[in-house]
Amino acid sequence: MREEDFPILNEQVHGQKLVYLDNAATTQKPQVVIDAIKEAYSKWNANVHRGVHHLSQVATQKHEEARMKVAKLIHAQSEEEIIFTKGTTDSINILARSFGDALVGEGDEIIISHLEHHSNIVPWQMLCERKKAVLKVIPLREDLTLDIEAFNGLLSEKTRLVSVAHVSNVLGIVNPMEEIVKVAHERGVAVCVDGAQSVPHLAVDVQQLDCDFLVFSAHKMYGPTGLGVLYGKKEWLDKLPPAEGGGEMIEHVSFEKTTYNVLPYKFEAGTPNYVGSYAMGKAIDYIQSIGLEDIIKHEHGLAEYLEAQLVSLSNVRVYAAGKEKAGAISFNVYRADGTLIHPFDVGVLLDRQGVAVRTGHHCAEPLIDYLDVPGTVRASVGLYNTKEDINEFIAALKKAIMMLE
C-alpha cells in the first residue's frame, strides 16, 4: 500500500532489498513529510506567535493548523486540549510533574500495568519517590492479558491516577481501555492512556474512550521525530499547573509574580517545534488520504498473516498468540534441544538479509523479566508493508534458524 511514497524503502541493506518491520520503534516518512520539512526551512521559517512580520504569521498559522488536525484525528473537543511536546516520553514526564506536584501526596497511589514501556514506569517512580507515594502494578494473567479483576482490587480511595498503554509495545496486545477507564472513573480516578502504539494503528476517539489524558508521538505515525502530543480534558488542564517555565507559557512576568497563558500554551514553554508540527500535520493528511479504516484493515490482515506464519514454525514461540493485536508481534526461536537462540543473534542474521526487526527488551524490562527471557524478536508492520515483505521475512528467518541451530 503506497510503498512508492517512501523513498527509504528503495534503499538496499547489505546488498539486499530492505524489508522494514521495525515500525513499532519508528516509522519511515513519506515524501510529503520530507518535503514539508524542507519547505518550512526554505520558505517561511520564523518563530511563531507574537511576531508581526509576514514569515512569523505564516509559521504561526501552519503550526496552529497542525494542532487542529491533531485534535480532529483523536476527536478532541477543542484544539485547546492539544499540547505539543517532544514526544510520548516528554508528555508523560510533563503530566507526572504537573498532575503529581499538584494532586499527589504522601501515601497516595499511582497505578500502571506490567506491560508498560519504561517511559510509563520511570516518571511515576520518580514522582512516588518525590512525594512518598505508592506505585501499584496491574498483574498479568497466564495468557499475558491484563488481570482486570485484580485491577479492581488495586483501586482505593488513595488512588489518584491510572496510566496504562493502550497497546503493548512488546506484545502488540490491545488492552481494554474503555473498561479500564470506566472502572477507574466509577472510583473517581483519572486515567492517562499511553497511545504511542495505538494512535498509528487504531481509530482512537478520546471522547469515546472518555480518557482524561492521552499521549503519543509523531514519529510512530509517519511524522517527524522530536514531536509528541499530550491531550488532556480541558477541565483537567485548566486546574493543573504548568510543569515548565519560560517563553510561550507566560501571560505576564514581574519579579513579584508570574501569571500563566491560556490553554494550550500554558504547558508549552520555550520555542515550539513548529517545523515538526507542520510535518506532523502533513503525515495526518497523508494517513487520511489513504483512509484510516483502510490502513487498519490492511495492517490487521498483515499481522494475522505474519502471526500465522510464525506459529507454523515448530521452533518459534509467539507470545500472546491469538490475542487481539495492533501492529507488533514478539517471538523467540528455540533449538531442537529446547535452548533459546539469543534474539540478538536472530536479529543480526535477519539484518544481513536486509530485514529490519527489533531485538532486546524493547524498553520494557519488567515484562521481559516476567517472560523469563533475555529479550524477544519483534516484527511490527506499517501501512507500506506487504504480504511479500512477510514472505521475505519468513524465508530469511528460516535461513537464520538453519545457521544458528
Catalytic positions: 363
Question: In 4-77, where do the E strands start and end?
Answer: 12-13, 16-17, 19-20
Question: Is the torsion defined by CA of 268, 274, 276, 282 positive or negative?
Answer: positive
Please state whether the peptide bond connecting residue 200 to the residue before it is cis, i.e. omega within 30 degrees of 0: no
Q: Are strands 358-360 and 250-253 parallel, antiparallel or unpaired?
A: unpaired
- Record the cell numbers describing residue 205, joined without a space: 476517539
45 CB contacts (<8 Å, ≥6 apart)? Answer: 55, 59, 275
Query: How many angstroms from the chain centroid is the CA of residue 244?
Result: 22
Alpha-carbon distance of 298 to 32, in angstroms, equals 21
* Locus of grid cell 507566560: 250
Q: Concatenate the DSSP letters of all residues of 60-94 into one string.
A: HHHHHHHHHHHHHHHT-S-GGGEEEESSHHHHHHH
Question: Which neighbouring-strand residues pair with 191?
Answer: 162
Alpha-carbon distance of 7 to 18, in angstroms, equals 11
Alpha-carbon distance of 94 to 120, in angstroms, equals 12
Q: Which amino acid is at 379?
A: A
**Residues 345 and 377 sit within 8 Å (Cβ to Cβ):** no
What angle is formed at CA 283 by the lines to CA 116 and CA 175, rounded to 5 degrees? 25
Alpha-carbon distance of 306 to 28, in angstroms, equals 20
331 CB contacts (<8 Å, ≥6 apart)? Answer: 310, 316, 317, 318, 319, 376, 377, 378, 379
